[in-house]
Amino acid sequence: MDTLLTWLIAGAVLGFFFVRYWIAHKKSEAQARASADRGALFSDGPKAQHPLISADYCIGCGACVTVCPEGDVLALVGGKATIINGHKCIGHGLCAEECPVGAITMVMAKASSGADSPVISDEQETSVENLFIAGELGGLALIKNAVNQGRDCMDVIAQRTGDLSASRAGENVFDVVIVGAGPAGISASLRAAEHGLRALTLERESVGGTVFKYPREKLVMTSPVEFPLHGKFHKTALSKEELLAFWEKVMQRTDLNIHTGESVASVSKEADGLFHIRTSAAEYNSRCVVLALGRAGTPRKLGVKGEELPHVLYRLIEADHYTHRNILIVGGGDSAVEAAMGLAHQAGNKVTLSYRKPEFSRLKDRNAKRIEEHMHSGKLEVLFNSMPTEFRAGSVSIEVNGEIRELPNDCVWIFAGGTPPSDFLKAAGIAFGAVSTEEHRELQEVR
């Protein structure tokens, strides 16, 4: 009898914990399914590199879910890893690295998602032979991806131009011209120097590209990355200041030829096979070109009355320069939310964030949690279903749920994305849309 009682007690204890686990598991799975359904309302899936999960090999360990820096991109549904918010994925690739059974591979988005993206081969080459694209313009986010692409396409160029060394002397022709000095452009420039190529890097603003415009202390990398001629940054978190300090070291190298403050107006391939690059200051010829441009391009305007006023801005560099002001932020993406939170921390600021939709839908997980905390603590006010109707000196009119409100205002920042440089790329002869490898070769032959 004592033995039976012992077994019954043990069974009851085990049953209690099993039921608790089962309920928690079902609740978690239900939340994942609800998140997946909600995600489908805001997006038709991943736009660039993302994980492809083999259900036949997945063992449901959840390692990929835990390691993802973006939050609820992945979840366990029915005991298998599943993409539930593909639009949040920006291609870290940590899930594939962490999977113990190799059930995850990183792939590009479906063909329909590439209709507004330039045609690029596996070697980062466009439909125009020897014209390459590196960085986010090719559809991938993350500094790590940009650095790797800048390095890899330069390896291809070095291989192709290696047999031309004998004819270089005395020629006014570069082996490669790199357009843009952000992460991809710097990586390509360093690799070109490593290969001994005759290279020129052109940057319309300052070295650092988009990173230079980030707010102070903004986290810009979440995994180690390796730059040519420098080595690996082993830190998994790197601030804007640390990365810009590295840019400064790069600028001191005597084997780099970088022109800042020189914008590129056009790139065209001539009949002799050379590229002609026309800038705001000069003209150059080159055997190859790497376009390491940002994807955002020109800031997108709202078309609102008063948008041309000097206090209406599109980039925030140093939040601590703005104190004791009434501030309006327009937008619902990560850039808008980060700017709003940064400005809300400055002394005396009253910050309002205006977003045209009823809720945030595309935020990184860490930003979604932080903005909720800021809203609940009263550090800033968020107006959903709202849109500015007029900007004036000292005030702004906003339509909120169909009603017009007047708010005192000193500064406005608009984060509505940007107009990508599609016209510039098309003028260079680059084709757009998703094509197969064979179709890519045919496009190059035509051009």
Task: Quote the Cα angle for 332-333-339, to 5°.
Answer: 90
- Which residue in this structure is represented by tokens 């539930």? 84
Q: Where are the domains of the chain?
A: 40-109, 115-296+429-446, 300-416
- Residue 219's pLDDT is 58
Q: Name the amino acid, one letter, at 233.
A: F
- Residue 171's pLDDT is 65
Q: Name the amino acid, one letter, at 25.
A: H
- Residue 213's pLDDT is 61
Q: In this structure, what token pair is assigned to residue 261?
A: 């403050």
Contact 130, 157 (CB under 8 A): yes
Q: Name the amino acid, one letter, at 19.
A: V
Q: DSSP assignment of 54-101, as one string?
A: -TTT-----HHHHH-TTSTTEEEETTEEEES-GGG-----HHHHH-TT
- Nearest-angstrom CA–CA distance, 30 and 126: 43
Q: Name the amino acid, one letter, at 335.
A: S
- Residue 408's pLDDT is 96
Contact 349, 409 (CB under 8 A): no
Can you say how many angstroms the Cα of residue 139 is from the centroid of all Cα atoms in its chain?
Answer: 8
For the chain (447 residues), the mean pLDDT of every run of 10, in chain order, is: 73 75 62 54 55 84 83 80 77 80 73 63 90 82 81 92 55 90 90 93 80 60 70 67 75 82 92 92 94 78 92 84 94 92 93 94 84 92 96 95 95 87 89 61 51
- CATH number listed for the domain at residues 115-296+429-446: 3.50.50.60
- CATH number listed for the domain at residues 300-416: 3.50.50.60
- Nearest-angstrom CA–CA distance, 306 and 317: 23
- Residue 43's pLDDT is 45
Pick the CATH number of 40-109 from 3.50.30.20, 3.90.1300.10, 3.30.70.20, 3.40.640.10: 3.30.70.20
3-state helix, strand, coil in the chain (%, to 5): 35, 25, 40
Question: Are 40-109 and 300-416 in the same CATH fold?
Answer: no
Q: In this structure, what token pair is assigned to residue 361?
A: 């839908």
Q: DSSP assignment of 182-231, as one string?
A: SHHHHHHHHHHHHHT--EEEEESS-TTGGGGGSPTT-EEESS-EEETTTE
- Nearest-angstrom CA–CA distance, 287 and 303: 42
Residue 156 belongs to what H/E stretch?
A: helix 143-161
- Residue 217's pLDDT is 57
- Residue 28's pLDDT is 63
Which CA distances in Å does 429 have to 123, 140, 280?
Answer: 18, 21, 21
Q: DSSP assignment of 318-380, as one string?
A: -GGG--S-EEEEE--SHHHHHHHHHHHTSTT-EEEEE-SSSS--S--HHHHHHHHHHHHHTSE
Taking every pair of C-alpha atoms in the chain, what is the biggest distance, in angstroms?
101
- Residue 22: which residues within 8 A CB-CB, separation 6 or more? none
